[in-house]
Amino acid sequence: AQSVTQPDIHITVSEGASLELRCNYSYGATPYLFWYVQSPGQGLQLLLKYFSGDTLVQGIKGFEAEFKRSQSSFNLRKPSVHWSDAAEYFCAAAGGTSYGKLTFGQGTILTVHP
């Protein structure tokens, strides 16, 4: 079955520190991959997406993600975290040949300490 796993439920970092949020997927073929961010009580905002080509993808708000086929991973990174980055982050995947089902991971809550 298709699935997306985010192993870390909650991550705490200090402001200015680097950040990496993990995401692993299980699909028959390479899916479309996404990272979304959600502030409390709000909808989801797209940070970045990967379809093919360059495995390092740049997104908004200084985020980037690297696709590693051998590890079935799509980890999100940011070199220096700001207090406003505190939110919940979701990794998602969709079938590579059609819309199909957009499947989400369980989410990672990011807390930023001053």
Partner 1 sequence: DGGITQSPKYLFRKEGQNVTLSCEQNLNHDAMYWYRQDPGQGLRLIYYSQIVNDFQKGDIAEGYSVSREKKESFPLTVTSAQKNPTAFYLCASISGGNRNTEAFFGQGTRLTVV
Which residue stretch of 11-19, 21-29, 42-50, 70-78 sits at the interface with partner 1 (rule: CB under 8 A)? 42-50
**Cα–Cα distance measured from residue 100 to residue 89, given in angstroms and rounded to the nearest whole number:** 22
Instruction: Supply the DSSP string of 8-64, one letter for each residue.
Output: -SEEEEETTS-EEE--EEE-SSPPEEEEEEE-TTS-EEEEEEE-SS-SEEE-GGG-E
Any idea what the Cα angle at residue 30 is, between residues 45 and 60, rounded to 5°?
25
Q: Give the residue carrying structure tokens 């991959």.
A: 33
Residue 16 CB, nearest approach to partner 1 (Å):
28
The only residue of 29, 41, 54, 114 in contact with partner 1, by rule CB under 8 A: 41
Taking contact as CB under 8 A, which single stretch among the options 13-21, 22-30, 32-40, 77-85 is the one that binds partner 1? 32-40
By CB under 8 A, residue 29 contacts partner 1: no
- Residues in region 51-90 near partner 1 by CB under 8 A: 51-52, 90
Q: List residues near partner 1 by CB under 8 A.
A: 6, 9, 32, 34, 36, 41-46, 49, 51-52, 90, 92, 94, 98-99, 101-107
